[in-house]
Amino acid sequence: MSASALTPLPPPPGVFDEMLDAGLVPRAHYAAYADWLASMSPEQMAGKRAEADLIFRRIGITFSVYGEEGGTERLIPSDVVPRIIAADEWERLEKGLVQRVTAINRFLADIYHGQEILKAGLIPEDQIVANDQFAVAMIGTKVPRDVYAHIVGVDIVRHGDGSYYVLEDNLRVPSGVSYMLSNRKMMMRLFPDLFRRYHVRPVEHYPALLLQTLRAAAEIDSPTVVLLTPGRFNSAYFEHAFLAQQMGVELVEGQDLFVKDACVFMRTTDGPKRVDVIYRRLDADFLDPLAFRPDSMLGVPGLLAAYRLGNVVICNAVGTGVADDKSIYPYVPEMVRFYLGEEPILKNVPTWQCRKPDDLAHVLSRLDELVVKEVHGAGGYGMLVGPTSSKAEIEAFRRVLIANPGNYIAQPTLALSSCPTFVEEGVAPRHIDLRPFVLVGRETKIVPGGLTRVALRRGSLVVNSSQGGGTKDTWVVDVGGDADPDGDATASTGA
Amino acid sequence: MLSRVASHLYWLSRYLERAENMARILDVGASLALLSGAGDERAASEPLIITDTLEAFGATGMPLTPEHVARYLAWSPDNPSSIVNCLEASRENARAVRGSITSEMWENINDTWLQLSAKRQGGAEPVDAAFFDWVKERSHLFRGITFATIRRDQPYQFIRLGTFLERADNTARILSVKQARQAAEAGGDGLTDYYRLSAVLRSVSSLEAYRDIYRDAIDARRVAELLIFDPSLPRSLRFCFDEVVRNLAELPQAPARAARRLAAHILALLEHGELEDVYGVGLDAFLERFLKNNIRLGEAVQAAYMEMK
Q: How many CA atoms within 13 Å lie on the side-chain side of B234?
A: 8
B103 contacts on A by Cβ (under 8 Å): 59
Distance from CA of A362 to the nearest CA of B (A): 51
Distances (CA, A) of B3 to A86, A255, B255: 48, 10, 12
Contact B218, B227 (CB under 8 A): no
Which structural domains are found in chain A, ordered by start? 8-223+312-344+414-483 (no CATH), 224-275+277-311 (3.40.50.11290), 350-412 (3.30.1490.270)
Nearest by CB: B2 against A231, A241, A267: A267
- Write down the pLDDT at residue A4: 52
Alpha helices (runs of H) in A266-373, residue ranges in sequence order:
303-308, 321-324, 332-335, 357-365
Q: How far apart are CA B73 and CA B51, in angstroms?
A: 9
pLDDT band at B280 (very low <50, low <70, confident <90, very high): very high
- Taking CA atoms, what residue in A is nearest to B154? A269
Instruction: List the pLDDT tens digit at each of the 495 positions of chain A.
Output: 444 568 899 999 989 999 999 999 999 999 999 999 999 999 999 999 999 888 777 765 655 444 333 344 567 888 999 999 999 999 999 999 999 999 999 999 999 999 999 999 999 998 999 888 999 999 999 999 999 999 999 999 999 999 999 999 999 999 999 999 999 999 999 999 999 989 999 999 999 999 999 999 999 999 999 999 998 888 888 899 889 989 999 999 999 999 999 999 999 999 999 999 999 999 988 898 888 777 777 889 999 999 999 999 999 999 999 999 888 999 999 999 999 999 999 999 999 999 999 999 999 999 999 999 988 766 566 789 888 889 999 999 999 999 999 889 999 988 899 999 999 889 999 999 999 999 999 999 999 999 999 999 988 888 887 777 899 999 999 875 444 444 443 333 333
Across the interface, whether the CB atoms of B1 and A269 are under 8 A apart is answered: yes
Across the interface, whether the CB atoms of B103 and A59 are under 8 A apart is answered: yes
- Write down the pLDDT at residue B204: 92
Across the interface, whether the CB atoms of B4 and A232 are under 8 A apart is answered: no
AA identity, residue A185: K
How many Cβ atoms from other residues are within 10 Å of residue B296's Cβ? 14
- Write down the pLDDT at residue A237: 86
- Write down the pLDDT at residue A294: 75
Nearest by CB: A267 against B96, B254, B308: B308
* Average pLDDT across chain B, whole number: 90
Across the interface, whether the CB atoms of A266 and B2 are under 8 A apart is answered: yes
Across the interface, whether the CB atoms of B2 and A270 are under 8 A apart is answered: no
- Write down the pLDDT at residue A63: 53
CB pairs under 8 A between A and B: 58
Checking if the pLDDT of B176 tops 70, the result is: yes
Distance from CA of B107 to the nearest CA of A (A): 6
A266 contacts on B by Cβ (under 8 Å): 2
A60 contacts on B by Cβ (under 8 Å): 95, 98, 106-107, 110
> For residue A244, what are the contacts with CB-CB under 8 A and spacing of at least 6?
A227, A229, A250, A251, B99
Q: How far apart are CA A381 and CA A282, in angstroms?
A: 19
> For residue A251, what are the contacts with CB-CB under 8 A and spacing of at least 6?
A226, A227, A229, A240, A241, A244, A245, B99
Tell how strand A313-315 and strand A277-280 pair up. Answer: parallel
Alpha helices (runs of H) in A112-203, residue ranges in sequence order:
116-119, 125-129, 177-190, 192-197
Nearest by CB: B2 against A57, A58, A250: A250
pLDDT band at B36 (very low <50, low <70, confident <90, very high): low
Across the interface, whether the CB atoms of A267 and B95 are under 8 A apart is answered: no
Beta bridge partners of A83: A474
3-class state of residue A452 by DSSP: strand
pLDDT band at B309 (very low <50, low <70, confident <90, very high): low
How many Cβ atoms from other residues are within 10 Å of residue A39's Cβ? 13
Give the mean model confidence (pLDDT) for residues B14-39.
81
- Write down the pLDDT at residue A490: 37
Checking if the pLDDT of B187 tops 80, the result is: no
- Write down the pLDDT at residue A70: 38
Nearest by CB: A232 against B96, B107, B110: B96
**Nearest of A96, A91, A123 to residue A107 by alpha carbon:** A123
Distances (CA, A) of A301 to A314, A437, B309: 15, 31, 14
B98 contacts on A by Cβ (under 8 Å): 60, 241, 245
How many Cβ atoms from other residues are within 10 Å of residue A275's Cβ? 26
Go through chain A and tell me how many residues it has.
495
B254 contacts on A by Cβ (under 8 Å): 270-271
A245 contacts on B by Cβ (under 8 Å): 98-99
How many Cβ atoms from other residues are within 10 Å of residue B145's Cβ? 18
Distance from CA of A273 to the nearest CA of B (A): 9
Q: Which residue has the higher pLDDT, B136 or A485?
A: B136
Taking the whole predicted model, whether its pTM rises above 0.90 is answered as: no
Which residues of B lie inside 8 Å of A (Cβ-Cβ)?
1-6, 92, 95-96, 98-99, 103, 106-107, 110-111, 114, 154, 251-252, 254-255, 305-306, 308-309
Q: How far apart are CA B237 and CA B274, in angstroms?
A: 13
Nearest by CB: A58 against B3, B107, B306: B107
